[in-house]
A and B are shown apart, each in its own frame.
Chain A
């Protein structure tokens, strides 16, 4: 059974800092990995999608890397801003998933960026 772990569970940083969020998964036979952002009481916003054949994806101040062999992904946020405060979730889809695109989510990292 795929297990996804995110470390740290919570993170508080001053504005302007660069930071790294970590995601690890136990089954490396993944189809792809996604990073999401969740604001309190709201749904999810997809940030970055990395296919299993890719090593990284970039969008603005966000950069996500994927190392399948070690079962790890990192989300790098450059020059953090208070508006980045949210819970960040990573989720993976297994390669041989008979149910289709079923995501397994990590527990999330609650990020607080202080002005």
Chain B
């Protein structure tokens, strides 16, 4: 089956530092990847849609300069939380859409804690 690897699984960082999260489709090509954020006891919220080779499309209220998304290849998308602050602490999940399929495959998520 299609596997999406997300790394790291958890990260603790000091306020003001930047954190990069990787999302890789291991056995398929993904032209589109999605980044979600989930706060405790809340549902997933889409942050941005990234298409390989083009700029990401951000949802309303998501700062593109703070959450940098790079989708450099058909198997890799990265989310960089720049100058992280405690309010950015959340569970971040990526998903990838396999070419020719409507199904989305999700990474295992990254728990970010900013001190």
- Residues of A with Cβ closer than 8 Å to B? 31-32, 34, 36, 41-46, 49, 51, 89, 91, 99-108
Which size class do B's interface residues fall under?
20 to 34
Contacts of B51 in A (CB 8 A): 100
A114 → chain B closest CB, angstroms: 21
Residue from B43, B45, B109 in contact with A41 in the complex, judged by beta carbons closer than 8 Å = B109
Q: Is the interface of A mostly helix, strand, loop or mixed?
A: strand
Contact B57 A99 (CB under 8 A): yes
Alpha-carbon separation in the docked complex, A49 to B44 (Å): 18
Q: Are A43 and B108 in contact (CB under 8 A)?
A: yes
Provide the bound-state CA to CA distance between A46 and B96, in Å.
Answer: 12
B106-A101 in contact (CB<8A)? no
Closest residue of chain A to B31 (Cβ to Cβ) is: A100
A42 with B44: CB separation less than 8 A: no
In the complex, what distance in Å separates the CA atom of A43 from the CA atom of B44? 10
Q: Would you give 6 A-B contacts (Cβ < 8 Å), ordered by A?
A: A43-B109, A46-B105, A51-B102, A89-B43, A100-B32, A103-B104
Q: Report how far A99 CA is from B46 CA in the complex, Å.
A: 11
Interface residues of B in 10-44 (CB under 8 A from A): 32, 34, 42-44
B6, CB-defined interface residue at 8 Å = yes
